Amino acid sequence: MNIGRGSTSFVPHIHITRSVKQLLIQYFYEEIELTLHRLRKIRNTVVNTTSSSNSAINSNLSSANTLVASSNIFIEP
């Protein structure tokens, strides 16, 4: 089936009014904003959790180093 200037498929023309376009734009804008908010919240949670974990690890390493140093007081250099 050949419809129109050499095209091999028919794509119907859909007329969308300005008000429908505005509603669609508003809907998708709100969805995009909500998704961005969720992504930022998750990113901040991951960053805060990572920072807390790093602080805990560094604190534990410092305590372990102090313990090792204090337990080696009888070893001659």
Task: Kindly tell me if the per-residue pLDDT of 2 is higher than 50.
Answer: no
Note the pLDDT of residue 50: 66
Note the pLDDT of residue 57: 61
Note the pLDDT of residue 1: 46
Q: How far apart are the first and last CA of the chain?
A: 93
| Angle at CA of residue 76, ends 73 and 77, nearest 5° | 110
CA distance 69 to 72: 5
Q: What is the pLDDT of residues 18-64, one digit of tens each?
A: 888 899 899 999 999 999 999 999 888 877 776 666 665 666 566 65
CA distance 40 to 42: 5
Confidence of residue 69 (pLDDT cuts 50, 70, 90): low
pTM: 0.40
